[in-house]
Structure 1
Amino acid sequence: MPDGPNESDGLAATRSERIELALELLAHLEHDELELPAVIDRIETVTTDPTTTRDILDEAEKRGIIDRDGATIRTRRGGTFVRFESQVVTREGEFDCRRCGASISTGHFVRFEAGELGPFGSSCIRKVTGRE
Structure 2
Amino acid sequence: MSEPVTRSEKLELAVELLAHLEREELALPEAMDRIETVTTDPTLTREILDTAEKRGVIDREDARLRIRRGGTHVEYGSQVVAREGDFECRRCGAGITTGHFVRLEAGELGPFGSSCVRKVTGRDAE
TM range (shorter): over 0.9
Provide structure 2 residue ranges, at least 5 long, that are not aligned to the other structure: none
One-letter amino acid of the counterpart of residue 88, structure 1: V
The C-alpha deviation readout for 1:7-36, integer Å capped at 9, x for no partner, is xxx621100000000011000011111000
Counterpart-to-counterpart distance in 2, 1:99 and 1:93 = 17
Task: State how many pairs are aligned.
Answer: 123
Code of the residue aligned with 2:85 in structure 1: it is G
Contact 1:28 1:80 in 2 (8 A): yes
Match of 1:31 in 2: 23
Uncovered stretches (5+) of structure 1, i.e. residues with no partner = 1-9
Q: TM-score, normalised by structure 1?
A: 0.92
Q: 2:108 aligned with 1:116, yes or no? A: yes
Alignment of 1:16-95 (within 5 A): 16-95=8-87
Sequence identity of aligned pairs in percent?
72
Q: Distance between the aligned counterparts of 1:74 and 1:24, measured in 2?
A: 14
Q: Which has the higher contact order (CA 8 A, sep 6+)?
A: 2
Residue 131 of structure 1: how far off its partner (Å) = 1.0
What value does the CA root-mean-square deviation take over the aligned residues? Answer: 0.7
Give the TM-score, by structure 2 length: 0.96
